[in-house]
Amino acid sequence: MLKILFIPDIVGKIGRNAVRQELPKLRKKYQPDVVILNAENSAHGIGATQKIIDELKELKIDVFTSGNHIWDKGGSDEMLDNPENRLIRPANYPSKKAGVGVLQLNIGEIKLNVVNLQGRVFHDWNKEDSEHLHDPFKTLEKIIASDRQGLYFVDFHADATSEKAALATYFDGQVQAVCGTHTHIQTADDRILARGTAFITDAGSVMYADSIIGAAKEQVWNLFFKIGQTSKKHDLPATGKAVFNAIYLELDVKERKAKKIERINKIIEVK
């Protein structure tokens, strides 16, 4: 049995501090073979930096996934092109973009392919220029065709619940887990599909509890009411109460099926 702990979108310093505080407890409880963490909002709620990735690497994270914001900070190309970071970006972005979208881990004799994909609904859906996102379904088909022996964990970073469910059910039995990310709110639909793929529409986030999807409330109010500078960033505290979401998975290596998916959803006091 391969045990995986997945920590979705961590937002800002309080998210990083929460992971540093809680991960040792989760390691002790679940004894995961692999820890995967989505770091695309780890730098003040948008993007990531090399300094922050170095900080998170000290926690012995095996792979960092990301999403559409991973290029939002300076130095992102160098960060993504550095294999020592074990940081991937959505595989269906054009190949001219820095980084790769798949990372294979060798856990003893087990090969686990960690795949990052970006949804297209509500995001770059009809653009025909060079930045157009490739079809995530066709992208994943090509990735699977390149290695039919390994196991697959997919972080599908997407807005639409229907797109996430469509991809998971289409590839049911071909990949072992599809965990949606991006909306920051954990859904209560965790389940194992008919052919053995573990799926949840959105794994959630690690973020300041008194916020709106990890952003300062005032920032979001201004966005909806169009008051003042709608893009202004508001500092969030590094300590206090935080939402801590994660997903624990158990994969049967011989049967190539998921046997367990468990949601972790709690409010913690970050010190």
Active site residues: 69
103, β-bridge pairs: 114
How many Cβ atoms are within 10 Å of 148's Cβ, its own excluded?
7
Residue of 270, 265, 213, 197 lying closest to 7 (CA atoms):
265
**Considering only CA atoms, which of 267, 163, 156 is closest in space to residue 210?**
267
CA atoms within a 13 Å half-sphere pointing along the CA-CB vector of 254: 1
End-to-end, the C-alpha distance of the chain in Å comes to 35
- Alpha-helical regions (H) of the chain: 12-30, 50-57, 76-81, 136-146, 161-170, 217-225
Beta carbons of 194 and 172 less than 8 angstroms apart: yes
Q: Which are the contacts of 157, defined by CB distance < 8 A and separation ≥ 6?
A: 38, 40, 65, 66, 67, 68, 90, 116, 117, 118, 119, 180, 181, 182
β-bridge partners, 240:
270
Alpha carbon distance 190, 215 (integer Å) = 25
With beta carbons less than 8 A apart as the criterion, state whether 131 and 120 touch: no
* Distance (Å, whole) CA 126 – CA 239: 41
